[in-house]
Chains A and B, each alone.
Chain A
Amino acid sequence: MRRLHNIWHLGIKELRSLTRDPILMFLIVWAFSVGVYLAATGVSMELRNAPIAVADEDQSVLSQRIINAFYGPYFRTPDLIALDEIDRGMDGGRYTFVLDIPSGFGADVLAGRRPTLQVNVDATQMSHAFIGSSYISNIVNGEVEEYLRHSRGATPLPVDLVTRMHFNPNLTSSWFSAVMEIINNITMLSMVLAGAALIREREHGTIEHLLVMPLTPIEIMAAKIWANGLVVLVTAALSLQFVVKGLLGVPIAGSLPLFLFGTAIYLFSATSLGILLATVARSMPQFGLLLIMVLLPLQILSGASTPRESMPIIVQNIMQLAPTTHFVSLAQAILYRAAGLEVVWPQMLATTAIGVVFFTGAWVRFRKAITTQQG
């Protein structure tokens, strides 16, 4: 009871401190509104306006058909270039894709000789490289098939393929990026707020004051966690409701309360990690660096920007220790696939367990860190 009382009042103090920093408040609002909006609408993962060129050595009816098959919005109208221009065009980054149609291609197709059509792909344009090359294969195959059907009157394809996209039928990338941006913001903000608040208390000497009062480190830490966590939770909820659902019109498949419950658990983990980092760093600049070193892998390797299963196994295993990984998979399950508690409880459990480890670590280091810094 007494503990809760202390934790409550210390937390109120944290909230008051936050309101005294209008620039910080503005940044928080910005990150969760405009930031999310920009990330969602600006970056499309689909193929868009991909620059393409064709070196047509064949000049046949078929090659012309293939060239005409590339148009917007996926591809730009292909530039026709000579064979020896391929290297220059690609080196200069003018084309992401260059098709090389060999001479005699049309005739070889008709004769059933299975000619080879080469697609050069600039692999540094990572996301486009993959999607684009499979598009190109399919377009080429389709054109060839149609051409042959016309010229030979061949039978239609014996098997149909019916594909359905689950959870995001049109593969709208804003659905994905909006939510992932919120997750990135949650991670960054919770760690910055909780950790930096502790360092600030140390730099201003106020922590000493707390330590001579009848307060335990656990209470001080718990107050930082609930107050800063609450701020992030409320902002994230508002952002989901008004920016993601409202403004961007992303349908949220699952239960919002369940997601927020999961977020609360994650916030415990992330703020504890922030505090742990703050007990390791001796000053704000050190904390800033530590933050970058922890945040970057968390954001990039947690599955929020690229698929996890294609990362090396060792990276996948190490990232199992990061709460973000579990949170990202929880968020994707609830928000996109409408998963319920029966599906996401393992993630919740893992996030909690990791949080407890961080919290304990911070608690062990707390007093030592406070007194050594003063020296």
Chain B
Amino acid sequence: MSDSPQTPAGPGGPLVARLRNVTHRYGAVAALGAVDLDLPAGCVVGFIGPDGVGKSSLLGLLAGARALQDGSVTVLAGDMADAGHRRAVCPRIAYMPQGLGQNLYAMLSVFENIDFFGRLFGHARAERDARIEELLQATGLAAFADRPAGKLSGGMKQKLGLCCALIHDPDLLILDEPTTGIDPLSRRQFWELIARIRSRRPNMSVLVATAYMDEAERFDWLVAMNAGQVLASGTPAGVRSQAGAPTLEAAFIALLPEVQRAGHHVLVVPPRPPQHAEIAIEANALTRRFDGFTAVDGVSFRIERGEIFGFLGSNGCGKTTTMKMLTGLLEATAGSAALFGRPIDARDLETRKRVGYMSQSFSLYGELTVRQNLELHARLFHLPPGAIPARVQELLQQFGLEAQVDAYPDSLPLGLRQRLSLAVAVIHRPEVLILDEPTSGVDPIARDGFWELMIGLSRHDGVTIFISTHFMNEAARCDRISLMDAGRVLASGTPAALSAASAGGTLEAAFIEHLEQAGGALVDTATPAQIATPIVVRPAVPPRRFSLQRMASYAHRESLELLRDPIRLVFALIGTLLLMFILGYGISMDVKDLPFAVLDGDQSSESRDYLSNFEGSRYFVVRPPLASQAELDHRLRTGELSLAIEIPPGFGRDLKRGARPAVGVWIDGAMPFRGETILGYVQGAHFTYLAGLAGTAGAGAVEVAVRYRYNQDVSSLDAMVPAVIPLLLIFIPAMLTALGVVREKELGSIVNLYVTPVTRLEFLLGKQLPYATLAMLNFVCLVLLAVFIFGVPLKGSLLVLTAGALLYVIAGTGLGLLISAVTRTQIAALFFAGVATMVPAIMFSGMTHPISSLEGGAALAGRLYPTTWFLLISRGTFSKALGFADLYPYFLPLVAFPLVVTTLCVLLLKKQGK
């Protein structure tokens, strides 16, 4: 930078990084092709180039976030392919990935996010507080210290990301498009902040990718890239002279190959023909409040058909909220808005067809290819089927997406994703386009391409365009613009008029002046003097292999997220208790109240005598008698009867004659266990009858007294509660942790595992700890409920039970993490957790069927599964008063299980991305 204390280093100076023959591929696509590059130390090195040329891949490799595939990368005098070196230098490198707040935690506040990183890098509390205070002051985030990161605007997220990157005083700062989507004022503050930090730490090297040529102009050293290759590198002046162009932008275009350069020319906005007078968009005192604060405060405007209307403003000033109200996504708290004279109604499908909307964050389907996304939207907007292929082809061409047509958006760089979003927004040729920062992160040539297209839409087709942007040259192309701050419009007019009215004479000056006049909270108040707090410079020691503090910092963060989500906490606690009630009362292996009916062909006193044994039993319930064999068949088939008894004609007579009549019994065997039990009852009743007959020898000669131990009335809670506790203690903890890792993978914060000193084991244990604690809390509640509410006596040792439970919840949460480590989406993890807990715990663990009777794979699963063993401990202590001496064999598997699972987890989890 021009104000940097350091003179730009030349090729002869010390190097911060060196790449030799580096190639990187994603599947068949090569992102980098045999790159050789030397990067000078102690200065700001900028990477410029169109979207998708490999800038992010290169920075990821330098940061160690991506695994090196081919070639060699030397950073801070060591080989990045060597895990030992990576571990040693990672505290000296800070990496901020592309995208808004990718590596931040949305539920945590601004302060807590920075604090988390501070803890990861092992700072003591006082030091952390001092550093955070300084960073918050310097970035103007101090006023928002308590706001959750998820509720910050895009620009504020970027600042927060920077704070998190800077907390540990890195020697190498790697920023991937840090100022994309940030308003000019914040951008200026951002670079001032970097400059101040560099003035204090002159040896720090900064590597930045940027889409802003004005920023690049002020860097010390530039690397211009295209198509996975380095086109040129050197000082900005050097690059300019190499290309023989007056400006960097022109130089960059000149450096591109012929094909890409072709068709690029300086953009001219033709004046708008004056005949349109119809009002396309109108807002009257539009206001939106979110609990506590007003995001949009009495905003009014009228936009004519065919007009390009720009919205400028600092981050978080309410632009996005205004746009969402215009699309009907949000309802206005007060005021009104209308499209084509019709008030906005979220249910009005006809109006929606006339509007194209592009949201700020990418919101297309990552699991569909570029073509599939376009086709889906074309179909949903009811383009004639025959016209779709042509329209899709046309857009692919216009937006330069032809090469990526079968790629998945997730694998595309930001700029290309933005293009796709814009293509989707215009696919149905809407009359109104509402575009929320459509060109953020898009390279200059493509941006001009967009504008050319939009100007064509506006001037030729009369499309009204409502756009927000942070690029001043784009704002200058609008017919009218509004400057917004803190939910209010500060000024409106043509760009020319606004520039003329400002002291600086430019649009940027006008913007900054208006904002400073408004005295918004975002304005940076820190002066360099204030941030001169001396900070202990720690010697660069390689981090230890296992650090309790790093583990604790993950545990702390995870607990905060859990505590921030009271619903989850309440579900986990109350839900378990509720389930215990339901299952404790509901599960019963007791077979009783069996409906039966009789086909009595005899109707004699003897037959009635025989049947009285069934009718009087608590196991059977009499239904209306049967008239025929067909009826017997039918009623069994409908499931109305579980049992049918047929007494043959002449039963009484035969009995008296000693002719051995036979009673027929039909049993519904659909549920074998029940059928078996019914059979037993029937035989019992039959014997009882025989015993009552005079002159019978055998039957009734013995009384068999069955004594059910541990549970006199068998179906009661006493038996169920000790079995339900192990069930609940596996489902909920496993479900809670199953999303732990995969959620970070899906939402992007997994990158913190890649680039911070935290090890896989620390990461996993840190995630496990809070949930294991929660599960133990659950356990305590369950035991209290069992003993004091259900009155189930705990006969054995509470200590033994608790020790078993502790091991068991560690096993359960570990199982969840393992599931999380192997899956890629949260959906898969949910289903996996369901499959991996429900079946083995309910069926194979011995809850209803003893494991001695299991066979094959189920028997193996049952023996390996922790529920089996904790179930024995739980029943042993609750019902049988057993102590540790009797139960210790069951503890061994419970100790082994977590060890195996955690080892597997560590092996399966990757410490670097692809």
> In whole angstroms, what is the CA distance A247 to B910 when docked?
39
Q: Are A130 and B835 in contact (CB under 8 A)?
A: no
**Chain A residues positioned under 8 Å from B844 (CB to CB):** 42-43
Does A61 touch B at the CB level, under 8 Å? no
**Which segment, of B122-130, B210-218, B226-234, B691-699, faces chain A?**
B691-699
**Chain A residues positioned under 8 Å from B66 (CB to CB):** none
Closest to B723 in A: A124
> In whole angstroms, what is the CA distance A46 to B858 when docked?
15
Closest to B695 in A: A155
Interface string of A181-219 (1 = CB under 8 A from B): 100110011001100110110011110111111111000
Does A158 touch B at the CB level, under 8 Å? yes
Q: Are A159 and B719 in contact (CB under 8 A)?
A: no
Contact of B827 among A21, A44, A158, A300 (CB under 8 A): A21
Q: Are B670 and A176 in contact (CB under 8 A)?
A: yes
Min distance, Cβ B700 to any Cβ of chain A, angstroms: 7
**Which segment, of B80-88, B541-549, B661-669, faces chain A?**
B661-669
> In whole angstroms, what is the CA distance A215 to B585 when docked?
45
Min distance, Cβ B475 to any Cβ of chain A, angstroms: 25
Interface residues of A in 205-238 (CB under 8 A from B): 205-206, 208-216
**Chain A residues positioned under 8 Å from B246 (CB to CB):** none
**Which segment, of B200-208, B446-454, B706-714, faces chain A?**
B706-714
Min distance, Cβ A81 to any Cβ of chain B, angstroms: 15
**Chain B residues positioned under 8 Å from A160 (CB to CB):** 660-663
> In whole angstroms, what is the CA distance A13 to B377 when docked?
10
Min distance, Cβ B806 to any Cβ of chain A, angstroms: 21
**Chain B residues positioned under 8 Å from A293 (CB to CB):** 571, 575, 578-579
**Chain B residues positioned under 8 Å from A245 (CB to CB):** none
**Chain A residues positioned under 8 Å from B269 (CB to CB):** none
> In whole angstroms, what is the CA distance A288 to B572 when docked?
10
Closest to B859 in A: A42
Does A333 touch B at the CB level, under 8 Å? yes
Does B328 touch A at the CB level, under 8 Å? yes
Does B346 touch A at the CB level, under 8 Å? yes
> In whole angstroms, what is the CA distance A34 to B860 when docked?
14
Closest to A130 in B: B677
Min distance, Cβ B891 to any Cβ of chain A, angstroms: 15
Contact A144/B855 with A45-B849, A167-B668 known, Cβ cut-off 8 Å: no
**Which segment, of A133-141, A257-265, A348-356, A357-365, faces chain B?**
A133-141
Contact of B376 among A13, A28, A289 (CB under 8 A): A13
**Chain A residues positioned under 8 Å from B579 (CB to CB):** 293, 296-297
> In whole angstroms, what is the CA distance A24 to B881 when docked?
44
**Chain A residues positioned under 8 Å from B15 (CB to CB):** none
Contact of B587 among A35, A140, A212, A300 (CB under 8 A): A300
**Chain A residues positioned under 8 Å from B672 (CB to CB):** 45-46, 168, 171-173, 175-176
Q: Are A166 and B677 in contact (CB under 8 A)?
A: no
**Chain B residues positioned under 8 Å from A96 (CB to CB):** 850
Does B359 touch A at the CB level, under 8 Å? yes
Contact A163/B592 with A21-B825, A293-B575, A338-B637 known, Cβ cut-off 8 Å: no
Closest to A37 in B: B857
**Which segment, of B132-140, B364-372, B395-403, B504-512, faces chain A?**
B364-372
Does B586 touch A at the CB level, under 8 Å? yes
Does B11 touch A at the CB level, under 8 Å? no
Q: Are A129 and B708 in contact (CB under 8 A)?
A: yes
**Which segment, of B189-197, B527-535, B872-880, B892-900, faces chain A?**
B872-880
Contact A10/B704 with A160-B662, A176-B671, A293-B575 known, Cβ cut-off 8 Å: no
Contact of B571 among A39, A188, A286 (CB under 8 A): A286
Does B219 touch A at the CB level, under 8 Å? no
**Chain B residues positioned under 8 Å from A122 (CB to CB):** 709-710
> In whole angstroms, what is the CA distance A6 to B379 when docked?
8
Contact of A16 among B327, B372, B743 (CB under 8 A): B372
**Chain A residues positioned under 8 Å from B707 (CB to CB):** 118-121
**Which segment, of B163-171, B483-491, B730-738, faces chain A?**
B730-738
Min distance, Cβ A332 to any Cβ of chain B, angstroms: 5
Does A145 touch B at the CB level, under 8 Å? yes
Contact of B680 among A115, A130, A154, A197 (CB under 8 A): A130
Does B747 touch A at the CB level, under 8 Å? yes
Min distance, Cβ B558 to any Cβ of chain A, angstroms: 11
Q: Are B699 and A332 in contact (CB under 8 A)?
A: no
Min distance, Cβ B667 to any Cβ of chain A, angstroms: 5
Min distance, Cβ B157 to any Cβ of chain A, angstroms: 15
Min distance, Cβ B487 to any Cβ of chain A, angstroms: 16
Does B353 touch A at the CB level, under 8 Å? yes
Q: Are A141 and B687 in contact (CB under 8 A)?
A: yes
Q: Are A284 and B571 in contact (CB under 8 A)?
A: no
Contact A136/B704 with A124-B723, A144-B698 known, Cβ cut-off 8 Å: yes
**Chain A residues positioned under 8 Å from B879 (CB to CB):** 124
**Chain A residues positioned under 8 Å from B687 (CB to CB):** 137-138, 141
Interface residues of B in 606-641 (CB under 8 A from A): 610, 636-639
**Chain B residues positioned under 8 Å from A299 (CB to CB):** 838, 842
Interface string of B740-760 (1 = CB under 8 A from A): 000100110000000000000
Min distance, Cβ A186 to any Cβ of chain B, angstroms: 12
Min distance, Cβ B705 to any Cβ of chain A, angstroms: 5
> In whole angstroms, what is the CA distance A282 to B610 when docked?
62
Does B822 touch A at the CB level, under 8 Å? yes
Min distance, Cβ B12 to any Cβ of chain A, angstroms: 49
Q: Are A166 and B380 in contact (CB under 8 A)?
A: no
Contact of A117 among B703, B711, B719 (CB under 8 A): B703
Q: Are A9 and B669 in contact (CB under 8 A)?
A: no
Q: Are B830 and A196 in contact (CB under 8 A)?
A: yes
> In whole angstroms, what is the CA distance A6 to B382 when docked?
8
Does A311 touch B at the CB level, under 8 Å? yes
Contact of B722 among A24, A124, A184, A311 (CB under 8 A): A124
**Chain B residues positioned under 8 Å from A177 (CB to CB):** 843
Q: Are A214 and B350 in contact (CB under 8 A)?
A: yes
Min distance, Cβ B338 to any Cβ of chain A, angstroms: 16
> In whole angstroms, what is the CA distance A50 to B852 when docked?
8
Min distance, Cβ A344 to any Cβ of chain B, angstroms: 9
Q: Are B380 and A214 in contact (CB under 8 A)?
A: yes
Contact A375/B290 with A128-B853, A159-B662, A367-B346 known, Cβ cut-off 8 Å: yes
Q: Are A159 and B589 in contact (CB under 8 A)?
A: no
Q: Are B714 and A140 in contact (CB under 8 A)?
A: no
Contact of B714 among A48, A123, A300 (CB under 8 A): A123
Interface residues of B in 356-389 (CB under 8 A from A): 357, 359, 361-368, 372, 376-377, 379-382
Does A64 touch B at the CB level, under 8 Å? no
**Chain B residues positioned under 8 Å from A123 (CB to CB):** 708-712, 714, 719
Contact A288/B367 with A43-B849, A91-B880, A144-B701 known, Cβ cut-off 8 Å: no
Does A116 touch B at the CB level, under 8 Å? yes
Q: Are A339 and B382 in contact (CB under 8 A)?
A: no
Q: 13 A-B residue contacts at CB 8 Å? A: A24-B831, A47-B853, A119-B706, A130-B589, A148-B701, A163-B683, A164-B664, A188-B834, A211-B328, A211-B329, A285-B743, A289-B736, A338-B637
Q: What 6 pairs across the A-B complex have the smallest Cβ distances? A: A42-B858, A145-B698, A134-B680, A154-B697, A165-B669, A205-B363
Sample of 10 more A-B contacts, CB < 8 Å, known A127-B589, A155-B697, A332-B670: A43-B843, A124-B723, A148-B697, A158-B693, A160-B663, A162-B663, A176-B670, A208-B329, A215-B380, A315-B585
